[in-house]
Structure 1
Amino acid sequence: MQEKIKEVAERVRELRDILNISLEDMSSYLRISPEKYLRYEKGEEDIPASILYEISHKLGVEMSILLTGEAPRMHYFTVTRKGQGVSVERRKQYKYQNLASNFINKKAEPFIVTVEPKPETSGIQTNSHPGQEFNYILEGSLKLIIKDNEFILEEGDSIYFDSGCEHAMVALGNKPARFLAIIMG
């Protein structure tokens, strides 16, 4: 997995250099410190899918180019068979499966996300990114924290929120939680 992280980071750095986008411009666009962005770009820290989505917008490329190095080819439709989406294992507790990586000019990025349970003693890491997000719970129970609000979402529940707000997700009941996530810029 570490090699994949470095490959994605290298593609991001290379495209940013080609497009003459400064490190400061990119980090400002993402609303993160230049130091944090540089850790992403060096492959020292894994880039969250939501941040990678925003990077792809800034660079003017499909997210799948950053993930796989290949350009999407489908203009009218793309079919993703069960379990066949492009895997994006961004962090230990989160696994993303891109469901439309081969479609050109997407207005949103759909993912199946699996959140693994983590020990009670480990802290909750929040995330934020520009845009909006829709989550529909497929399996398990998920605690979703948005700003100062906590929600327990069960199978069949959904939430739509401003993803610019700090948010975090925790699988409950010592079982993984799976949900459909649609991220819109």
Structure 2
Amino acid sequence: MPSTSENSNADVEMGGKIRALRHRLGRTLEQTAKAAGISKPFLSQVERSRASPSLGSLARIAGALGVKVQYFVDTPSEERSVRRKKDLWFFSFGDSATLFARMTNLSAGRKLEAILVRMPVGHEESEVRTHAGEEFLYVMAGEVSLTLEDKIFVLQAGDSTHYASTVPHKWRNAGASEAVVVWVGTPSLL
């Protein structure tokens, strides 16, 4: 059973997360309390860690702020937050010579995915695609030709790009050596 000090630390963290999210969303105490079906003074006490909400009250607060209860109670852990170099392994799709390595841990509710991509010389252009979300590419080594709609951009080591995934796009290794790219996007590539 957790000690009283562990409980109070969790209450402080939870109250701070509730307040921070409410402020980020631009909502008042009164608006949030009303949407959650609790009193404004009680919500104020929860945010200042002077009261602990029941699970039901916490669920209503989470709903009023548009998140799941886990948002307030999950604490950072290595399993969810850190990806060690020793755990990075490359895989491919079908008979493609391009290699992929997941740089982020799989966790429910994540909105971003980061993939390390190694494209060999002569890598064929990917097919044109569109989907909801955004993509960010950072070229670590080599040269990549990126086509957005009908415009072509050549990216070299140190260059990056950020675009809406709804724009028709494709990319390929355009250089004489392996291209290494960090891809970050929404929704998950894999």
Does residue 78 (structure 1) correspond to residue 81 (structure 2)? The answer is yes
Q: Which residue of 1 aligns with 2:185?
A: 183
8 Å contact from structure 1 (residues 131, 184) kept in 2 = yes
Q: Which residue of 1 aligns with 2:106?
A: 102
Q: Distance in 2 between matches of 1:86 and 1:75?
A: 26
8 Å contact from structure 1 (residues 85, 101) kept in 2 = no
Q: Which residue of 2 aligns with 1:130?
A: 132
8 Å contact from structure 1 (residues 142, 169) kept in 2 = yes
Residue 85 of structure 2 aligns with an amino acid whose one-letter code is: K
Q: Aligned to 1:90, what secondary structure does the other structure show? A: coil
Question: RMSD over aligned Cα, in angstroms?
Answer: 2.4
Does residue 111 (structure 1) correspond to residue 92 (structure 2)? The answer is no
Residue 120 of structure 2 aligns with an amino acid whose one-letter code is: E
Q: Distance in 2 between matches of 1:181 and 1:156?
A: 13
Report the CA distance between 1:81 and its aligned residue. Answer: 2.2
Residue deviations 1:76-101 (CA, integer Å, cap 9, x gap): 24322226335441251432211113
8 Å contact from structure 2 (residues 125, 171) kept in 1 = no
- Between structure 1 and structure 2, the one with the greater Rg is 2
Structure number having the greater helix percentage: 2
Q: Distance in 2 between matches of 1:103 and 1:124?
A: 27
Residue 81 of structure 2 aligns with an amino acid whose one-letter code is: T
Report the CA distance between 1:167 and its aligned residue. Answer: 1.3
Q: Distance in 2 between matches of 1:123 and 1:160?
A: 19
Does residue 154 (structure 1) correspond to residue 156 (structure 2)? The answer is yes
Report the CA distance between 1:75 and its aligned residue. Answer: 5.9
Does residue 164 (structure 1) correspond to residue 166 (structure 2)? The answer is yes
8 Å contact from structure 2 (residues 148, 168) kept in 1 = yes
Q: Distance in 2 between matches of 1:161 and 1:138?
A: 18
Q: Distance in 2 between matches of 1:123 and 1:88?
A: 19
Q: Distance in 2 between matches of 1:184 and 1:148?
A: 22
8 Å contact from structure 1 (residues 78, 102) kept in 2 = no
Q: Quick one: percent identity of the two aligned structures?
A: 21
Task: Evaluate the alpha carbon distance shift between residue 130 and residue 179 of structure 1 in structure 2; reply closer, same or farther with a 3 A threshold.
Answer: same
8 Å contact from structure 2 (residues 120, 173) kept in 1 = yes
